[in-house]
Amino acid sequence: MKRIVVIGAGQAGASLVAKLRGLGFAGEITLIGAEPVPPYQRPPLSKAYLLGEMALERLFLRPESFYADHGIDLRLGQRVTAIDRAARTVALGDDVLPYDALALTTGSVPRRLPALIGGDLRGVHLVRDLADVDAMGPRFQTGAKAIIVGGGYIGLEAAAVAAKKGLEVTVLEMAPRILQRVAAPETSDAIRALHQAHGVTILEATGLERIEGATRVEGVSLSDGRRLEADFVIAGIGILPDTALAEATGLTLENGIRTDTQGRTSDPHIWAAGDCASFPWRGELLRLESVQNAIDQAELVAENMLGAGKDYAPVPWFWSDQYDLKLQIAGLNTGYDRVIVRTGDARSHWYFAGEKFLAVDALNDPRAFMVGKRLLEQGKSPDPVLLADTATDLKQLLKA
């Protein structure tokens, strides 16, 4: 194999090309990114960077010189217009690049509020990339009124930053509670209380009817008939896998770009990793939206592009920073029927389906996160009775 092309210069793309060189691949590598800056960390964008606590250069995953030093052709500010699978070429406008193997690490795109309800007004912002955050940053002025649509992690992290900057913040969540899709009521309750303690108004079971204003945001109309004044609106209503290129070239899509257990798409010369890719996991096609998955899956794909033949079998984990709270999550809680709550100096919520341990939410409790992740990696389920007893040393559960 002489030429590998990677489309998408986010966390997954950067991890993949670095791993290829680390494994000794001596052929040509091209990494193509639509943004004009080198690959960067996304999580700090809506937190430390927006708060002004992190400079742009500190966001970069590696210095820009890394790519040239390692013989990686980094193409920034360029978009792939077509993939010719028969010829094995990628088109960047008039420029055509041949490939022996191609990797799609195109990530995800944010859901947008419909233009019909004012989603295209000036002052409606997304929280996805550097340009989004740079555009909204000047609006974070003390006393400004911010409406955040969506009570998931994206919206709540933005709310925490806005509150810390002294804004008047209201979060709208259409579901009966914040984090309903991803967390137990116990976790929702703890995070709701945290935000309310910082002055954030959270309106649950409340939908957005319309964003008001002639050309810019002036207020919002709610499903319960109320009207709230607003200086700007942040849409934190989730993301979708970026599958446009894959669809245009005829690859199989199912909950993203469908791959096999090794990261190969329906075309044996094309691979996928990160937010855009789904893969077989415990009888379903799973797609994970997390930094760790982007790194681990991309590095595995790099190995498999060079013939390793390894299957991807992750233990999913995630985190969210809000105020002084670090929420760490290990596992997936899908199908849980009870939650064991441990409190004391820290707090953790343990998800079970019958006697089977599924996941843990650790709230400023790194020990609970570490133990829960180890248990999942070992395929062990702790005794719920012992777990519920706060006198139990969590590390003892690893020896059971």
Indicate if 267 and 199 belong to the same structural domain.
no
- Is the pLDDT assigned to residue 229 strictly greater than 80? yes
Q: Is residue 67 part of a domain?
A: yes
Out of 235, 255, 284, a domain closes at 235
Indicate if 48 and 119 belong to the same structural domain.
no
Q: Is residue 351 part of a domain?
A: yes
Q: What pLDDT is stored for residue 1 in this prediction? A: 79
Match 């999580």 to its residue by tokens. Answer: 43
Q: What pLDDT is stored for residue 112 in this prediction? A: 96
The enclosing domain of 72 has a CATH number of 3.50.50.60
Domain with 294, as residue range(s), is 3-109+239-305
Indicate if 104 and 243 belong to the same structural domain.
yes
Angle at 288 between CA 282 and CA 292, to 5 degrees: 110
Q: What pLDDT is stored for residue 51 in this prediction? A: 86
DSSP string, 156-173: HHHHHHHHHTT-EEEEEE
The enclosing domain of 390 has a CATH number of 3.30.390.30
Using one digit for the tens of pLDDT, what is the confidence trace for 314-355?
999 999 999 999 999 999 999 999 999 999 889 999 999 999
Using one digit for the tens of pLDDT, what is the confidence trace for 210-226?
999 999 999 999 999 99
Number of folded domains that form the chain: 3
Angle at 206 between CA 202 and CA 207, to 5 degrees: 120
Those residues with Cβ within 8 angstroms of residue 193's Cβ, 6 or more apart along the chain or in another chain:
none
Using one digit for the tens of pLDDT, what is the confidence trace for 25-84?
999 999 999 999 999 999 998 888 988 899 999 999 999 999 999 999 999 999 999 999
Using one digit for the tens of pLDDT, what is the confidence trace for 122-175?
999 999 999 999 999 999 999 999 999 999 999 999 999 999 999 999 999 999
Indicate if 286 and 301 belong to the same structural domain.
yes
Q: Is residue 315 part of a domain?
A: no
- H or E element at residue 395: none
- H or E element at residue 264: none
Angle between helices 291-305 and 11-22 (to 10 degrees): 40
Indicate if 125 and 96 belong to the same structural domain.
no
Indicate if 121 and 216 belong to the same structural domain.
yes
Indicate if 125 and 205 belong to the same structural domain.
yes
Amino acid at 325: L
d(C-alpha 277, C-alpha 337), whole Å: 29
Indicate if 67 and 159 belong to the same structural domain.
no
- DSSP-derived letter for residue 277 is E
CB atoms within 10 A of CB 310: 12
d(C-alpha 33, C-alpha 16), whole Å: 13
Indicate if 211 and 121 belong to the same structural domain.
yes
Collapsed DSSP state (helix, strand, coil) of residue 246: helix
> H-type helices in the chain, by residue range?
11-22, 56-59, 64-69, 130-136, 153-164, 185-197, 244-248, 291-305, 366-378, 384-388
